[in-house]
Structure formats: C-alpha cells, structure tokens
Structure 1
C-alpha cells in the first residue's frame, strides 16, 4: 500500500481520518507504523498529500492530513477484455487500475464460459476493492470506469462505435500480417483483448468491421493477463 486511500466516511474531523480495517492492519504489519510517522494519503476521486499518525492502537489509527497534489494523469486507453476466469480477473482489475486505464469494459465472447458471469468478483463492492488495491499500489486516487457487456453482438453493433469516437481502435489478435502494437499512447486508444483461446473468426470479422485494426505482440501466444500487462506496459512508456 503505497497510498492510504480514504473517503468521506473515514473523516472524523476536518483534516483528520480514522481507519480500522485492512488499512490499519497494513500500517501495523507492513509499515510497522508508530505515532508520529508520516504516510502518503489520498482522497478517493480527489487530491493526494501527506498524513501523520496521531494515534495508533490495535483497533484504529487516527491520521491528520493535508492534500496538495493531483493524482497522476490517466493512460488514455479504453481497455476491452473478454471476461476471464475469476482468478485472472482479479489480477486484471488490479493491473488496469495500476496502469491508469480510463475505462475497462468486460465483455462476452464465444469462448467465455457462462459460469464466469456468476462470479462474486463482479459484485460492485468486490470490483471496487480490487480496483482500489491497484490505485494504492500506483499512488492514484481516480477509479477507472468499469462496464459489463454480457452480449457480444449488441455490444459490438450498438455501443462499440460510440466508444471508438475520437480513438484509434486496436484488436490484439495473432493474425499473420498484423502490424506491431504501438509503443506509446500518444493518441487515445481503444484496445480489445480476447479470451483464452482467442476470438473466433466471426468475432474478429465483427470487430474489424466496427473499425478495429489488428495488431500483434509477436509470434508467442500469451495468457490474457500477460497480454494485458505487455500491451499496457508498452503504452505507459514515454514517447522518445
């Protein structure tokens, strides 16, 4: 936890918060915190700044703070990922928040198992908790938007065109002759990544017809989570 995030519910006085959950456990077990120690804090959706621990017990911590720093800018990427299995989904949620993705769309495709849509990870509170973990790691306060699209064809035909407005659409798919994935995000992008086993030809055709151009990371076939990390890592690199 490189940033202790808080909301209005944590305020106990102006400029002062009180925490008694996993954040307290982290202060004790990882930071080995003590009264008087400073800690980096941020208000969810707002500014960041410096906090100081003024009281600390096994039950709660009280922290005074001053916020004076903007969060880092978002990566101008709308990330479309065919819904992966729950264990992988957790890592992708954290990773998307860490990389600063603006908007994450989890959508259906032929090779997505129906049971994946029943996972508790998709509950609002659980989604939020994994995204917050990513923000804590990367020192950010702004949650990415998350959209669930359970039907492939209506999504691609009716809503994908709107998401593509003002963006270059890229389809990460190992196709012979596909161009190389970009190495910077100097323009807003929409990036689509398929399920384990990849998109079926019908889905590739629909996505290409919607305006996405196929790109490749090379000859190796990567797991979904590794493809997400590899592509976002390239985009995060500053332009030379």
Structure 2
C-alpha cells in the first residue's frame, strides 16, 4: 500500500479521519506508524470530470489496535491517466482480479468486459462481478500506484452487439486494436494521438468468426510474437507497448 485511499465516510471532523479496517492494520503493522508521522493519503475520486487535487499527507494523531486517526492535508493531483480503454473478454475470476489490479495500477480508467465464444458462461455468475468486489480490486490498484481516480467498468453479454455497436463508439474516437496470438503484425510501440481501445480475447483466443468480424470492421489485429501468454501478462505487455513512446508509427 503506497497510498492510503480515503473515502468521505472516513471523516469524523474537519480534515480528520478515523480508520478501523485493513488500512489501520497496514499502518500499524507494516508502516509502524506513530503519532507525528506523515503518511501518504488520497481522497477517492469517483467522478467523470477532471481529476481533483486529492493527494496529500496525513499526520498521525493516533495509531493503535482500535483506530488510526489522521489530520489530512490535500492539494496534489494524481498521476495522468492512461489513454487506453481496455476491452476484455471475461476471464476466470482469479485472472480478472489480477487484470483489474494491474490495469488500474497502469492507469486504465475504463474497463469493458464482454462475452465471446470461449468465455465460460458461468463466469458471468461469479461473485467477483458484484460491484463491491470489483471496487475492492480497483482500490488495491490505486493503492499500489498512488492514484485516487476510480476506474469505470461496463459489462456486455452479447458479442455481436458489443463489437458492432459499443466498439463503434471507440472507433469514432480513435483506434481499436485487437490482440490475437495468430496476428501477423507485431504490436507497435506507441501510437497515434487520441483514444485507443485495446481488445483482449479469452484464454484460447478468439474463434475464426470473431477474428473475421473485427477485421471486417477495420480493427487492427496485432500480436506479441510466438509465445502464448496468460491474459494478465499479455495485458501488461500490450498496455506498456501501446502506451509508450512511439517507435513504430501507425500507417
């Protein structure tokens, strides 16, 4: 935990918070916080507007087995968000946990979960898709990367409607890049300015019909070479390449 993410309900007075959950335990056991210490804190931002200057420090007033109390001073802005929208064929729950945490840490602010042929239908019934569970994993990502802006998640259970209608909104804003192990083109480093939507398929990849549908709509099919990677590993590698400085220009 590199930042303690606060919520409005944590405040007990003007500029003072009291924490009695895992954040208190982390500060007491791992940070060994004592009165007078200053800890990195940030107030959670769940809005869609420009990020607020919600980062700062908290002076420890109390830290014991019952509560952590901090006097909070904010005024710094969080790091810039990634320009990438991540569309992900719904993976196994343990994989989704990793993608949400790592994607959030990389600055992703919008996740689009969708169905495809090789997605197990039972995944849509997972308790992980409950709002509280999704939120918990994104908060872990924010704590890792010292950020305060909570990402948004959309869920789309129909493949055709998602690809033809929802992704059309992303095509209108910028480029849609589909990662596929069978793609002939290597994923470039960097890209053109503007919005970029990265589409990542299920374990086992897209079926031929799905590949043809993406290609027929003009989406860019790219790969990472001959190695078959886990979804969470491929996501990190692709976001790092696409979000980095351009060395191969889009044509």
* TM-score for the superposition, normalised by structure 1: 0.95
**How far, CA to CA, are the matches of 2:87 and 2:230 in structure 1?**
15
The answer for the alignment partner of 2:154 in structure 1 is: 147
The answer for the alignment partner of 2:61 in structure 1 is: 54
- The Cα of 1:196 is off from its aligned counterpart by 0.5
Residues 26 and 186 of structure 1, relative CA distance in 2, 3 Å threshold: farther
**How far, CA to CA, are the matches of 2:189 and 2:3 in structure 1?**
28
Q: Which moved more, 1:155-164 or 1:20-29?
A: 155-164
State the secondary structure of the residue aligned to 2:221. strand
**How far, CA to CA, are the matches of 1:134 and 1:166 in structure 2?**
26
Out of 76, 83, 96, the residue aligned to residue 103 of structure 2 is: 96
Does 2:129 align with 1:110? no
The answer for the alignment partner of 1:212 in structure 2 is: 219
- The Cα of 1:238 is off from its aligned counterpart by 4.3
1:142-221 maps to which residues of 2 (within 5 A)? Answer: 142-178=149-185, 180-184=186-190, 187=193, 188-221=195-228
Residues 185 and 56 of structure 1, relative CA distance in 2, 3 Å threshold: farther
Does 2:13 align with 1:16? no
Residues 176 and 126 of structure 1, relative CA distance in 2, 3 Å threshold: closer
**How far, CA to CA, are the matches of 1:171 and 1:208 in structure 2?**
9
Whether contact under 8 Å (2:183, 2:221) holds in the other structure is: no
State the secondary structure of the residue aligned to 2:204. coil
Whether contact under 8 Å (1:75, 1:185) holds in the other structure is: no
Cα RMSD after superposing both structures: 1.4
Whether contact under 8 Å (2:102, 2:141) holds in the other structure is: yes
**How far, CA to CA, are the matches of 1:34 and 1:185 in structure 2?**
47
**How far, CA to CA, are the matches of 1:48 and 1:84 in structure 2?**
33
For structure 2, which runs of at least 5 residues remain unmatched after alignment? 46-51
The answer for the alignment partner of 2:142 in structure 1 is: 135
Moved over 6 A (4+): none
Whether contact under 8 Å (1:172, 1:215) holds in the other structure is: yes
Whether contact under 8 Å (1:98, 1:135) holds in the other structure is: yes
For structure 1, which runs of at least 5 residues remain unmatched after alignment? none
Question: Number of residue pairs matched?
Answer: 239
The answer for the alignment partner of 2:26 in structure 1 is: 26
**How far, CA to CA, are the matches of 2:159 and 2:236 in structure 1?**
24
Residues 9 and 186 of structure 1, relative CA distance in 2, 3 Å threshold: farther
- The Cα of 1:185 is off from its aligned counterpart by 5.2
